[in-house]
Chains A and B, each alone.
Chain A
Amino acid sequence: MSVRISEYATRSREAIRDRPEVRTAVTGATVAFDEKRRRAYGEVDADSWRRWAEGVKNHLLTHLDDYLAEAEAQLEANGADVHWARDADEARQIVLALAARHSARSVVKGKSMLTEEVELNPALERAGIEVYETDLGEYILQLLDEPPSHIVGPAIHKTLEQVQHLFADRLETDPGGDPDELARAARDVLRDAFINADMGITGGNFLVAETGTVALIENEGNIRLTTSLPRVHVALVGIEKLLPRMSDLAGFLQLTARAATGQPIGCFVSLVQGPASAPGDDGPEEVHVVLVDNGRTDVLLHEHAWEALRCVRCGACLNTCPVYRQTGGHAYGWVYSGPIGSVLDPGLLGLHEAMPLPFASSLCGACFDACPVRIPIPELLLSWREEAQQKGLTPWKERAALAGLATAATRPPLYRAAARIGTRLGATRAARKLPMLSDWSNDRDLPRPSPHTFRQLWRQGIK
């Protein structure tokens, strides 16, 4: 997925003005998910769970080298092959080489944001390999040639009518078909794809270092098939997805499901231990785990941003985010959108590439309350903002105005005079020409100052 973050202002405006159905669909779905998440948190001692999960991930991230070595050893002991990908290109080359070795003509895929991040599908297609996304939402988007707009619900920005129309057109379903009918039509296509696939590609929600187990959460059963039916299973896993022990996994499976969808646990949890142990046993003949860095080590070394690596990609912060709800994910311009995207993208891509995402937030703090691993997203946004100011990545007029405010605010008489002039000016038509207020006043009526300032009232005596 190409990076279009710098177009955030225009693309968010277009989403709001020209595609109102996106806002309706996204708001409706995220409000419902957020409700379920709240209820599911309320059923348990969510605060303690979240603190525990934060602690486990912090421990992992501060001992990541050891746990990666342990995971590699365990995976190999289980008969899986481990590959290391420093960046997106290496990740693609590894998968392409595996596909070539097995003369793969067709692959099925489980939903994976990491494969979006490393742009795997286009690379496979260029190599002449047929790719089937088997998650229903991902399948819809593949037909439309659109990237996912949400970590958990990739097609959350689509309305039922749009999908009915698409399927009627492409799969010859009834134009008024209900969701079950539509799912059935997709299943018919995908069943053949599963049977004919030479290779199954997935991500990984967790990788337990102690046992070398890749854990995958889903609700549709397509990941179970992707990991078990084809002869070869390849899992791409970000290096931050590790968990130290098997006993940690139980907690994380439950907490992640509660955060993501409000479920006590996902409908399907697949634990991939390695290939089938004997010919004729269930499972693939080969299991490959590709451990992907692609900027994560840089994030880990960053003074503040490392906390974003605790992320379990549950999407709870997107669901609760009032900004995300207005535009959906595409406006953010890259794979990871919403609150987590705004703090992770600058780390993975470099701050310059990710501007203005740290500023695409009102800092309302709802994301922190929702996050199962307590990533202090508002604080991280602020530290990215600070870095952006120091590097001169923001408009100089803005910096000058704020520096001026600080100078005035430390000299009370100057401040009082400036504030009075500013307020009165802000209420006149001239304000529509002032650099910052002109945008404000396009969508809003100008603020009305009080007839007397409080200082004046105080001096007159308040009765």
Chain B
Amino acid sequence: MKVALFVTCLADHYFAEAAADAVRLLRHLGCEVTFPDAQTCCGQPAYNAGMSREAVRMADHTMEVFADCEAVVLPSGSCATMVKKFYPRLMEEADRAVQAAALADRTFELAEFIMRRLGVTRLGDGLAGRRVALHQGCHALRELRLETEPAVLLEGAGAEVVPWEAAEECCGFGGLFSVKMTDVSAALADRKLDSLPRVDWVVSGDGGCILQLDGRGRARGDGVEFVHLATALWRGVDGWAGEAMAERDSGGRHGRSNGQAGRRLE
């Protein structure tokens, strides 16, 4: 399958290696990955601020860039939600609801794409022995309803996803919210960090949440390691036994492991 990567602003600049891991992972699963160069921002900052005219302009641009793609994958639950859920709402008033709905149908968050579109649940066992806590971005959880997908993929790759009292609570990022209501936003992050169990990694599919939690965690001197879901999943493939790989390869759908085992995390 041909997949266009919509990298998103934050991943482009702050989680570039994770976005590259998403590409590796998709290729490994047999997809041909393209990167439409004219892509920019999905428009969510403007949409969340209530500036819908600006958001419509950005949505128009994005819809044009990805118009002919078979599938669009984003390494971000939040930006995927913008395209999948909020574009149709936003474009209804701009009379382009049909185009928006068509793009929405072809757009996926990374874990969503792997499980719901490709039907893959087992990536490998590269995460065997890892204790991870999973922070789901609110949009991934409550708009895309990815209530199980990321955990299933992580556990399928051998990780132990540790229960976390505040797992489903918001990290307090919320884009504009974190700069406008900075004290409250930081208090939300504290609630997450204070209740965090002992783990090797905190994994999240949203760069914004990681910037927030990691920024706060470093300011507090917590020493917690945050890993983007794309990187964690790609690491899950890493330990894949050659035999199993060959089996999958014989199906002709999946590319061979690209010899990245043991590659260092960013």
Indicate if the CB atoms of A462 and B23 lie closer than 8 Å: yes
* Cβ contact of B51, chosen from A31, A325, A386, cutoff 8 A: A386
* Cβ contact of A13, chosen from B14, B16, B173, B183, cutoff 8 A: B183
Decide yes or no whether A406 CB sits under 8 A from chain B.
Answer: yes
Indicate if the CB atoms of A440 and B16 lie closer than 8 Å: no
Task: Across the interface, name the chain B residue whose C-beta is closest to A367.
Answer: B142
Task: Across the interface, name the chain A residue whose C-beta is closest to B37.
Answer: A412
Task: Across the interface, name the chain A residue whose C-beta is closest to B27.
Answer: A462
Indicate if the CB atoms of A363 and B138 lie closer than 8 Å: yes
CB neighbors of A among B174-193 (8 A): 174, 176-189, 191
Decide yes or no whether A172 CB sits under 8 A from chain B.
Answer: no
* Cβ contact of A362, chosen from B138, B211, B215, cutoff 8 A: B138
Task: Across the interface, name the chain B residue whose C-beta is closest to A458.
Answer: B35
A410–B38 CA distance with the chains assembled, in angstroms: 9
Indicate if the CB atoms of A399 and B51 lie closer than 8 Å: yes
* Cβ contact of A442, chosen from B40, B61, B143, B182, cutoff 8 A: B182
Indicate if the CB atoms of B20 and A462 lie closer than 8 Å: yes
Decide yes or no whether B167 CB sits under 8 A from chain A.
Answer: no
Residues of A within 8 A of B143 (CB): 365
Residues of B within 8 A of A449 (CB): 13-14
Task: Across the interface, name the chain B residue whose C-beta is closest to A414.
Answer: B40
Per-residue contact bits, chain A 420-442, to B (CB 8 Å; 1 contact, 0 not): 10010000000000001101101
Decide yes or no whether A402 CB sits under 8 A from chain B.
Answer: yes
* Cβ contact of A454, chosen from B16, B180, B187, B216, cutoff 8 A: B16
Indicate if the CB atoms of A366 and B170 lie closer than 8 Å: yes
A420–B12 CA distance with the chains assembled, in angstroms: 10
Indicate if the CB atoms of B216 and A444 lie closer than 8 Å: yes
Select the stretch in B41-49, B108-116, B121-129, B243-251 that faces chain A: B41-49
A457–B11 CA distance with the chains assembled, in angstroms: 12
Decide yes or no whether B66 CB sits under 8 A from chain A.
Answer: no
Residues of B within 8 A of A436 (CB): 179
- Shortest C-beta distance, B26 to chain A (Å), equals 10
Do A363 and B186 form a contact, CB below 8 Å, given A440-B179, A450-B14?
Answer: no
Indicate if the CB atoms of A387 and B50 lie closer than 8 Å: yes
Indicate if the CB atoms of A406 and B46 lie closer than 8 Å: yes
Per-residue contact bits, chain B 55-68, to A (CB 8 Å; 1 contact, 0 not): 10110110000000
Decide yes or no whether B17 CB sits under 8 A from chain A.
Answer: yes
Decide yes or no whether A267 CB sits under 8 A from chain B.
Answer: no
A326–B11 CA distance with the chains assembled, in angstroms: 29
Indicate if the CB atoms of A439 and B138 lie closer than 8 Å: no
- Shortest C-beta distance, B166 to chain A (Å), equals 8
Decide yes or no whether B258 CB sits under 8 A from chain A.
Answer: yes
Residues of A within 8 A of B52 (CB): 386
Task: Across the interface, name the chain B residue whose C-beta is closest to A390.
Answer: B50
Task: Across the interface, name the chain A residue whose C-beta is closest to B142.
Answer: A365
Indicate if the CB atoms of A402 and B45 lie closer than 8 Å: yes
Residues of B within 8 A of A394 (CB): 49-50
Residues of A within 8 A of B135 (CB): none
* Cβ contact of A23, chosen from B50, B165, B187, cutoff 8 A: B187
Do A327 and B54 form a contact, CB below 8 Å, given A364-B138, A382-B48?
Answer: no
Residues of A within 8 A of B45 (CB): 402, 405
A198–B211 CA distance with the chains assembled, in angstroms: 60
A327–B181 CA distance with the chains assembled, in angstroms: 12
- Shortest C-beta distance, A153 to chain B (Å), equals 19
- Shortest C-beta distance, B214 to chain A (Å), equals 8
Do A402 and B16 form a contact, CB below 8 Å, given A363-B138, A366-B170, A443-B186?
Answer: no
Decide yes or no whether B87 CB sits under 8 A from chain A.
Answer: no
Indicate if the CB atoms of B184 and A327 lie closer than 8 Å: yes
Decide yes or no whether B266 CB sits under 8 A from chain A.
Answer: yes
Decide yes or no whether A369 CB sits under 8 A from chain B.
Answer: yes
- Shortest C-beta distance, B76 to chain A (Å), equals 12
Task: Across the interface, name the chain B residue whose C-beta is closest to A439.
Answer: B182
- Shortest C-beta distance, A245 to chain B (Å), equals 33
A449–B169 CA distance with the chains assembled, in angstroms: 26
Residues of B within 8 A of A384 (CB): 50
Do A410 and B142 form a contact, CB below 8 Å, given A419-B13, A449-B14?
Answer: no
Decide yes or no whether B218 CB sits under 8 A from chain A.
Answer: yes
CB neighbors of B among A1-36 (8 A): 9, 12-13, 16-17, 23, 27, 31
Chain B residues in contact with chain A, CB under 8 A?
A: 7, 9, 11-17, 19-20, 23-24, 35, 37-41, 43, 45-52, 54-55, 57-58, 60-61, 138-139, 142-143, 165, 168-170, 172-174, 176-189, 191, 211-212, 214-216, 218-219, 258, 260, 266
11 contacts between A and B (CB under 8 A): A322-B188, A323-B170, A326-B184, A364-B170, A366-B169, A398-B176, A409-B58, A415-B41, A443-B182, A449-B14, A454-B16
User: Which 8 A-B pairs have CB atoms at the shortest separation, nearest pair first?
Assistant: A385-B50, A362-B174, A444-B215, A406-B54, A364-B170, A450-B16, A443-B186, A386-B50
List 20 extra interface pairs beyond A406-B57, A410-B40, CB under 8 A: A322-B191, A323-B181, A326-B187, A361-B177, A364-B174, A366-B142, A382-B48, A382-B50, A383-B50, A387-B50, A399-B51, A409-B58, A409-B61, A412-B38, A412-B40, A442-B182, A454-B12, A457-B16, A462-B23, A463-B258
